[in-house]
Amino acid sequence: MIKVDHVVLDYGLGNANSIASCLRDIGCHVIISSKFDQLRSARVIYIPGVGSFNQAMSKLHQQGLVEVLTEIKNNGQTLMVGMCLGMQLFAQSSDENTHTEGLGWIPGHVRHLKDRVSNQHTLPHIGWNTLNKQVDDGLFELVNARDSFYFDHSFHFDADEQYTCARTAYGAEFSAMVKRNNVVGFQFHPEKSQQAGKRLLIGLLNSYHIDRQPIWITNE
């Protein structure tokens, strides 16, 4: 068995390769895997996602990953990181296509952005946007107020306010980052957000005291 600290979950729905490449750029030893033993040995599991909520949950159930991931999350020793749809899977449920139960790790529900934005804002929300920090957290230690991050979504995680650590405005504000103990989610794509995304991921790993090979990332 290959044992590594960083594992990008391979469940057939997501941009796992680009996430792994970004993580390698910041000094992480990372593999892409869905093997239960490798997931259980990881310090960090990254859950990507591109597509629909119900399709993603179906794939996780079919591969027996819901139970395994929940077991790993509950042990409290592994950082679980969701990106875009991967973050939305942390919710209790989603109204996308049909009402679908999520992992239920963070209280809240996934809803369509059309319920929050005006007709002047096109959907999906695609492009660069800034973060409005809601908490003073170490994971933002390398993030500047002017930093922009790349979004591509039509649905948003309407998360409980106590677990929302950053919001983004697009017509109206919505949760852009959520955090509950060892579960952290990004509505945007850090791996597509150039230097700002890499610095945010470094700050995340630093805040959880997770080792990597130090690589200089400019603070510009």
Tell me which residues are annotated as active site: 84, 189, 191
Give the helix ranges, DSSP H, for the chain: 16-25, 36-41, 53-62, 65-75, 85-88, 194-207
Are residues 18 and 191 in contact, defined by beta-carbon separation less than 8 angstroms? yes
Whose structure tokens read 């895997």?
33
Residue 173 CB partners (closer than 8 Å, separation 6+): 132, 167
Are residues 39 and 72 in contact, defined by beta-carbon separation less than 8 angstroms? yes
What is the distance between the alpha carbons of residues 173 and 167, in angstroms, rounded to a whole number? 6
6-9 and 30-33 strand pairing: parallel
